[in-house]
Amino acid sequence: MKMTIKDTNNMDQLSKNLKKLNKTSIKVGVFGSDDAELVKIASVHEYGMTIRPKKAKMLAIPVSPKAKGKRPADFPTLFNPKGTKVLAIPKGKDDMEVLFVLMHSVTIPERSFIRAGYDENIDAISNKVADLVPQVIAGNVPFDAFADMVGLELAGKIQKKLRSISDPANSPTTQTVKRSSNPLIDTGRLVGAIRHEVVE
């Protein structure tokens, strides 16, 4: 009878997996490499901000769905009725339609969705990570799958937080222009830009 003895010492692999785990971080948020404009929008909502004009004396704030995403220069017949702080276009013979209100500044209130989404979910995600780490170290769960799972879950939780924010509400003017009351969702670009990156 022949007997074969197989060495099942996995210390090298365990050590390698542990080192990889210790060197890896998972980033979740809106990334400048994807869209720098969305990073700016996310930052304004995350922390709040007062916006002032840089080149003009006043900001032109859209107050009509017709003006959404446009600038005053996009309307060749736009005029400023004497004694008002509005920009309008002619409507019929003796009427006008206000498209913009002129303001010295606009304050966007803080509507934290990244920090709040993280804070509200980190305990549950940490517990899940703690359950899976021994399996990752042992090689039973592929490291890349583990890192992606954690990143995807946290990104999903932050997206959910963004969708749930309703306070502080949009101003009535903003609601009219957006045709929505959710302060952080307009086109869906911001919520769609929240993702994760695994950095080794």
Where does the pLDDT of residue 179 fall: very low under 50, low under 70, confident under 90, or very high at 90 and above? Answer: low
Q: What is the pLDDT of residues 8-54, one digit of tens each?
A: 566 776 677 677 777 888 999 999 998 899 999 999 999 999 999 99
> What does the alpha-carbon distance between residue 178 and residue 172 come to, in Å, rounded to a whole number?
10
Total-model pTM: 0.78
- Cis previous bond, 168, omega within 30: yes
Q: What is the pLDDT of residues 50-82, one digit of tens each?
A: 999 998 899 999 988 899 889 999 999 999 999
Amino acid code (one letter) for 29: G
> What does the alpha-carbon distance between residue 18 and residue 143 come to, in Å, rounded to a whole number?
10
Q: Which residues contact 13 (CB under 8 A, 6 or more apart)?
A: 139
> What does the alpha-carbon distance between residue 171 and residue 69 come to, in Å, rounded to a whole number?
17
Neighbours of 2 (CB within 10 A): 3
Q: What share of the chain has pLDDT > 90, as a percent?
A: 55
